[in-house]
Structure 1
Amino acid sequence: MNKKKVLIFDDDANILELCAIVLQDFGYDVEVSETSHDIIEKVSEIKPDVILMDNWIPDIGGIKATQLLKKDPDFNRIPVIYFSANNDIHLLAQTAGADAYLSKPFDLTELENIVSEAIKKTA
């Protein structure tokens, strides 16, 4: 069975590292990016099964990056999980067109559950 790929966009290296370690422990292949301006190139290169998107990511921000992805007919079916410490994360996720959201700080089990749910929906 092929390992499922998760692509994480976050400008916080600690969060990237933590999420990568946790998701790798759950058997996922993980790729990370600290910027979002080249999201289409990154996604076409990596071909992730699911994307975790931070709100405050340079250079164009999570909302714009997610919208770009969702407008692209090649990639709009890839689930995007929006994650942020903002109180209004559900509204941000909705504006972005994300498929799900996760509030920071989050529980590691929550992280694994939301990723596996998103992947199940696309299967």
Structure 2
Amino acid sequence: MSKRILIFDDDVDILSICSYILEEQGWDVHTSPHCNNISEFVRGIQPDVILMDNWIPDSGGVIATQTLKSERDLRTIPVIYFSANNDIQSLAAQAGADTYLEKPFDLNELELVIERVMASKVA
């Protein structure tokens, strides 16, 4: 069974780069440039991990993450909040994300953060 990751970001370059890298590592990658109907969308994919951009249209990453974390069947999916915002740590905490990753990020950093949340999900 493949590992599924869902990436929310309105930057097509980030979606392309992350998709390429993660697919090379065996991930089944799904992407979205917005967070419309986020709960239904996530239920349809059932990802193992979510990468959430702060500036994602329409409601923004904080509200989108809070929405997911408020849903009983979705709250256990690890959310990695990622942004170039200087205050990413407090934004991630406000959103209820499991961890965060500052943009721009090193691809090794991306891999390590994903590995960490996957390991904690199993534990």
The match for 2:74 is 75
Deviations 1:23-80 (A, max 9, x none): 1111111000000121101110000000000000100000000000000000000000
* Alignment partners' CA distance in 1, 2:98 and 2:44: 21
| Residue type at the aligned position of 2:36 | H
The match for 1:108 is 107
Deviations 1:67-106 (A, max 9, x none): 0000000000000000000011000000000000000000
Give the structure-2-normalised TM-score: 0.97
Deviations 1:10-33 (A, max 9, x none): 000110010011111111110000
Identity %: 55
* Alignment partners' CA distance in 2, 1:105 and 1:70: 25
Q: Does 1:55 align with 2:54?
A: yes
Determine if contact 1:26/1:112 at 8 Å carries over to the other structure: no
Q: Which runs of 5+ in 1 are unaligned?
A: none
* Alignment partners' CA distance in 1, 2:41 and 2:116: 23
Query: How many residues end up aligned between the 2 structures?
Result: 122
What does 1:1-123 correspond to in 2, within 5 Å? 2-123=1-122
* Alignment partners' CA distance in 1, 2:45 and 2:96: 21
Deviates most, 7-16 or 111-120? 111-120
Deviates most, 94-103 or 18-27? 18-27
* Alignment partners' CA distance in 2, 1:33 and 1:93: 19
| Residue type at the aligned position of 2:55 | W
Deviates most, 112-121 or 42-51? 112-121
Q: Which runs of 5+ in 2 are unaligned?
A: none
What RMSD in Å do the two structures reach over aligned CA positions?
A: 0.6
Aligned-partner SS, 1:92: helix
* Alignment partners' CA distance in 2, 1:13 and 1:52: 14
